[in-house]
């Protein structure tokens, strides 16, 4: 069983982190008050989400129909790309601009990895992966398989897929078991030869200062930065759900790829504390491609999870 507020919070929290971090992208040390100021690389309006949430919406629009159809998700990515997004990751753009259909994407991404063996594990798969968790709540093997398949549409490096598996399992545990430490539960789903690497990365994120994890365009420090912001931000005893906003601000303060780190963190925080934990002022401001608002994201999340229960 799970709470609908936590399901909705997975996408609303992700978008809140994304929009909060958008105005500070690639600043080395954001300071002072952190707010939804807009601007950033895409010239976003205050409260407008970026490519992180837009690509997650592409996934959720498909999963909300009851099927993790990878080719359909790829087609939706391409439709978004043709809309002329204000901001898009380098490797994602390199793959999408070569394809005419979703069926071609994984092969193009694999060729990109061959040509760029050290540049194909960016955080662009991890930032959008949250809907996959909602599509398979309670089924770790299905979560892992779909997380890898959706990641591979643009990011063929196994590390990018690993990060998606770990974070999706963590979201599942937050939604179903009210906990924020589920990232470790996904280690058993990784190839044995990489489990130790990822376990060390998780431990490092819990012990080093959050600002140690920059630059964070690579998927590993991106996951570490999000995890560090969450676990190293105290949970207020009297108002535990305030942890969501506090940890998102902490994620933005890490610097570098601020919108993506906060979007990754926001998905897990929303899955734990619920959409109701997102400050009202932020929820009212949230908007973005393709003309949606916070309540629309919550509905996509709920529809996806409904199908997961039916399955």
Q: What is the pLDDT of residue 28?
A: 81
CA-based nearest residue to 80, from 65, 95, 66: 95
Q: Give dist(CA 23, CA 44) in Å, integer.
A: 8
Q: What is the pLDDT of residue 307?
A: 83
Using a cut of 0.75, tell me whether the model's pTM lies above it: yes
Q: What is the pLDDT of residue 1?
A: 43
Q: Which token pair is 141?
A: 């093997």
pLDDT tens across 114-160, in order?
999 999 999 999 999 999 999 999 999 999 999 999 999 999 999 99
In the predicted model, what is the mean pLDDT of the chain? 96
pLDDT tens across 203-246, in order?
999 999 999 999 999 999 999 999 999 999 999 999 999 999 99
CATH number at 63 reads: 1.10.4080.10
What is the mean pLDDT of the segment spanning 249-263? 97
The continuous run of DSSP H or E covering 293 comes out as strand 292-293
142 C-beta neighbours (distance < 10 Å), count: 16
* Residue 2 in this model has a pLDDT that exceeds 90: no
pLDDT tens across 183-192, in order?
999 999 999 9
Q: What is the pLDDT of residue 187?
A: 98
Q: What is the pLDDT of residue 49?
A: 98
Contact predicate 197/214, CB 8 Å:
no
* Structural domains in the chain (count): 1
pLDDT tens across 22-45, in order?
999 998 878 899 999 999 989 999
- Domain range holding 120? 4-310
- In sequence order, the 6+-apart residues with CB closer than 8 A to the CB of 223 are 123, 126, 163, 166, 167, 183, 201, 205, 264
Q: How confident is the model at residue 67 (pLDDT cuts 50, 70, 90)?
A: confident
Q: Give dist(CA 221, CA 160) in Å, integer.
A: 11
Q: How confident is the model at residue 309 (pLDDT cuts 50, 70, 90)?
A: low
């Amino acid at each position: 069983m799970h709470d609908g507020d936590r399901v909705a919070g997975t996408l609303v929290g992700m978008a809140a982190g994304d929009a909060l971090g958008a105005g500070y992208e690639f600043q080395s040390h954001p300071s002072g008050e952190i707010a939804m100021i807009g601007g950033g690389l895409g010239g976003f309006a205050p409260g407008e989400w970026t490519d992180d949430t837009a690509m997650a919406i592409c996934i959720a629009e498909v999963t909300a129909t009851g099927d993790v159809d990878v080719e359909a998700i790829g087609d939706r990515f391409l439709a978004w790309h043709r809309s002329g997004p204000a901001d898009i990751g380098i490797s994602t753009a390199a793959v999408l601009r070569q394809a005419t259909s979703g069926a071609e994407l994984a092969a193009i991404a694999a060729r990109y990895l061959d040509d760029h063996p050290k540049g194909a594990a960016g955080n662009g798969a991890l930032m959008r992966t949250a809907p996959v968790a909602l599509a398979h709540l309670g089924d770790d093997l299905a979560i892992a398989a779909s997380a890898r398949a959706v990641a591979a549409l643009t990011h063929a490096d196994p590390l990018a897929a690993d990060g998606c598996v770990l974070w999706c399992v963590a979201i599942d545990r937050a939604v179903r078991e009210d906990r924020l430490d589920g990232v470790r539960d996904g280690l058993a789903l990784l190839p044995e030869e990489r489990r130790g690497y990822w376990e060390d990365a998780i431990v490092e994120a819990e012990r080093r200062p959050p600002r140690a994890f920059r630059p964070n365009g690579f998927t590993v420090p991106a996951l570490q930065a999000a995890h560090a912001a969450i676990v190293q931000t105290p949970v207020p005893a009297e108002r535990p759900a305030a942890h969501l906003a506090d940890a998102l601000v902490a994620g933005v303060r890490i610097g570098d790829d601020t919108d993506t780190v906060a979007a990754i963190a926001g998905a897990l925080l929303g899955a734990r504390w619920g959409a109701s934990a997102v400050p009202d002022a932020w929820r009212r401001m949230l908007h973005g491609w393709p003309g949606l608002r916070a309540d629309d994201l919550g509905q996509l999340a709920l529809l996806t999870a409904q199908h997961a229960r039916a399955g």
